[in-house]
Structure 1
Amino acid sequence: MAFPSLSELAPHGTTFVALTIAAVLLTPGPTNTLLFLAGSRDGIRRSLPLIAAEWVGYLISIGVWCVFLALAAAVAPWAPPVARACAAVYIAWSAIKLWRTAPQAGAAGSKGIGPRDLFTVTLLNPKAFFFATVVFPPLAAGPAALLEAYLIFSALLLPIAALWISMGAAVLAYPSATPRQPMVHRIASVVLMGFSGSICYTLLAR
């Protein structure tokens, strides 16, 4: 199965690539949900290290997808759907875990969203599949083209991730924010389960 790259879809070059990356990163998803949740619980300063976990998770995931798709196109065309199914299962598991731990959210000593949690969810984020198949150039384009794509991606990811954390931290501006943490966790759990369901629906529809 061949996927078009932005070099074929976008005659306007770098500007169109940047706009596409920004639009996808701004879209609500599993990683952004956890960034928002972390900001609402721990505030901006304590949540900023999570951006590094997201960045590393995306870079590894996109790189693996690029290599994987190049190989799978020739020997295992069924492999990409299987990988997406595994991602859906993990996201669903994360949603269930959030729901079950919601009653303890906001309590003294309760466990928040850690770098490991965010890294794993980002590593399995379906957005990485989109970036690898549509935004990033194929491996045959050479290291210079891949490096340029990575640099554009990184320059956009950092401020957008900070924006999601800031939106979550805005919850803390209200005096009743902490008592409402269980509700925030449950809403985030439902959102994550929705993402998992949408992936499964897409796979079944095909």
Structure 2
Amino acid sequence: MDRLLTPPVGVALILALSSCSGESASSASDPAPTATVTTTVTASPGDASESPQHSMVAKLGDVQPTEWGDVAVLEFNPQVTSDPAAQRSVDQPRWAGALARTCVNEDWDGEPIMLSWGPWSLTDQDDGTYLETGISGGVSYPQPAYPQLGDRTTRPGSCSQGWIVFSAAPGATIAEVAYEGQGLDAPLVWSLD
């Protein structure tokens, strides 16, 4: 967007020109000559030096771009029933799940993209944060499962889609799903409203 600014130099130039006549402004019969200096400043939306990085909040199903690919949260289930015995064993009677899809278009800074549940989180309406369950063995999670432990490298041109399961407090109303993966200046956020 173009903006018109009058810098202090322009004001000083006007004052200098008006005082060149040798008469004070109140005693001059003719108006003093004036000059106006303007500067046009153009700000580009992608210039990080002029604007802070903010999280973009998307809706379920929206694809959000990164430097290395695209990420989307396709579905959310506030009450995942996968393995009741495992849920009781961690003293957390409620699990919630997000179906995520990540597509890799290129490596990030020459490094392959490693996918896992770790960069994902949920936030409730009271700003409570919930992380993935942290249980990796002996549990039947909803299928397909998103790569869980960071042991899967996703090569350029491929995608991974699956469920991520989170421990959530009973009665909490989950408001957002967030992803803070490789190379992001701010988290990608999907609203559940």
TM-score, L = length of structure 2: 0.23
Please identify which structure carries the higher strand content: 2
TM-score, L = length of structure 1: 0.22
Return the structure number with greater relative CO, CA threshold 8 A, min gap 6.
Answer: 1
Q: Radius of gyration: which is bigger?
A: 2
